[in-house]
Amino acid sequence: MFRILLVCMGNICRSPTACGVMHAHIARRQLARLIEVDSAGTYAGHKGEKADRRAVTLALARGYPHIERVRARRVLDQDFERFDLILAMDRDNLARLQQQCPPAHQHKLHLFLAYAGQGGSDEVPDPYYGNAAGFEVVLRLCEQGSEGVLDRVVATMA
């Protein structure tokens, strides 16, 4: 089983959205027996909370029901050993992960969009303090990025 952890700051907007999207793409590609995905945050202030209602509403409308199962949690030390790939939504969270991660697992840390091979910005912007349009941007980037991540992971498994 190949395990992917998606990480943003509070684990209530970007990483739950990406997790919901990736979960659906994994199911569509019939990869559920091979790839597992989870999400977490570098900040524990929302621990146990559901994803932001704006993210949930948009994800459900686009056919990503898994987002309703996500509960915010902080990245744990054991996550660095458990997961094969840890993808941060932005550089700030990548830097936080790099500080927390043991040297033996640093190679697992990447930016979500950069690892996905997306052109343009390699960061998924934080929509929390904005309006619904920001959540739409995040969902679109997560849809595009998830396909790229899965293409790359599947290629390494072959």
φ, ψ of residue 37 in degrees (nearest 5) = -130, 145
Catalytic-residue membership of 54: no
Please tell me which residue in 13, 14, 54, 79 is annotated as part of the active site: 14
* Measured distance CA(12)–CA(137) in Å, rounded: 16
> At residue 39, what are phi and psi to the nearest 5 degrees?
-135, 160
Among residues 38, 90, 126, 142, which one is catalytic?
Answer: 126
14 given a catalytic annotation: yes
- Between the alpha carbon of residue 23 and those of residues 102, 104, 147, the distances in Å are 27, 28, 11
The active-site residue, picked from 8, 13, 19, 101, is 8
Is 69 a known active-site residue? Answer: no
Of 155, 82, 141, 150, which is closest to residue 113 (Cα–Cα)? 141
Catalytic residues: 8, 14, 126
